Structure 1
């Protein structure tokens, strides 16, 4: 099956390739939100725009159906849902084919705090200290766009971290692996032994809940 992946993540690409899909990458710029406040403000602004009689205020990325989808989500779920849907819509607008478009956004949540990608090695070390010995959530919003239909789901996996020593943190950060990953670790790489156990989907922690995506696409193909 041919699909378009609206993400430059090699991990998402590999997950889709492992089930035999023909994957074309189309990662396009989209102004992502990083906090719950930003996501909430964007949702409020979208709602105002669609209620406005002034057509110049309408958002060029989202339609009113998208607003209904996003309105189902709150707090951290809204952050990744907004980003994933926006990235998917941006790719779909350019490709303009009947090929399914898949997009995703993954965030790490510790308590009420979203941990994004670290800004530098010191920031990565600080994130790992916060995760050490604690349980955090990894949330991935997965979006499938097919013909004129869209499905969106947010999947959550609970991740239990081992208690980390400063030596272990320093050694891991020195590999450079944490610097491009939300929460400053990669469960599929050198950071695998930082994790004691997980509750939920492993693929979700890697960056794409594969079974969820597969089921969404099969369902959309049945109804179109």
Structure 2
């Protein structure tokens, strides 16, 4: 399968290679929404209420960002090939955690996740020849109880700073995790089985 991947993420690129698909990389430039209010404002502005109606309020941020990235990439590259946009968020007790603003924000996020279960959600949008497929995949992740020293040492590696929830499960952040329930690929940033099914569905 040949797709256009609307992402600059090396992690998503590696996941695509894992299933032996070919991807043209065309990062989608979209001013990401960070909360439900911004997501709803975008949906109303674009007249997409029906398309996004199935999603819960904590799904909307990643679903809107995935769609925005895919739409931007398709505007430049066309949609003769499936255009895939994705966005991953971390949700803790109904609160969406995006990428940390600075080290202290990362510390606050990781401390709040310590010893608790959160949900990683990846919104995915696929645009193909005028058709749109939207989905959100969820995985439960439970952290070990972390000491403040552990958290600060992890932050000093630099790994948390560009990742939702301030950790990367495919890197050193795997040591923070006790258990996961659901798709591991989803926590990395792209649920491969869902991608496979949705692309084949939209292509027909």
For structure 2, the 5+ residue unaligned runs are none
For structure 1, the 5+ residue unaligned runs are 48-65
Task: Report deviation, 1:221.
Answer: 1.9
Q: Deviations 1:3-30 (Å, cap 9, x if unpaired)?
A: 1100111101100011111111101321
Cross-structure match for 2:6? 6
Partner SS state of residue 119, structure 1: coil
Question: Larger Cα Rg: Structure 1 or Structure 2?
Answer: 1
Cross-structure match for 1:76? 58
Partner residue of 2:74 out of 85, 92, 101: 92
Partner SS state of residue 75, structure 1: coil
TM-score by length of structure 2 reads 0.96
Cross-structure match for 2:176? 194
Partner residue of 1:113 out of 74, 86, 95: 95
Alignment of 1:71-220 (within 5 A): 71-220=53-202
TM-score by length of structure 1 reads 0.87
Q: Is the 8 A contact 2:28 2:85 kept in 1?
A: no
Stretch of structure 1 that moved more, 35-44 or 153-162: 35-44
1:27 aligned to 2:43? no
Task: Report deviation, 1:72.
Answer: 2.2
Task: Report deviation, 1:155.
Answer: 0.5
Task: Report deviation, 1:191.
Answer: 0.5
* Cα distance in structure 1, aligned partners of 2:146 and 2:10: 27
Alignment RMSD (CA, Å): 1.2
Task: Report deviation, 1:46.
Answer: 3.4
Cross-structure match for 1:46? 46
Q: Is the 8 A contact 1:43 1:71 kept in 2?
A: no
* Cα distance in structure 2, aligned partners of 1:37 and 1:211: 30
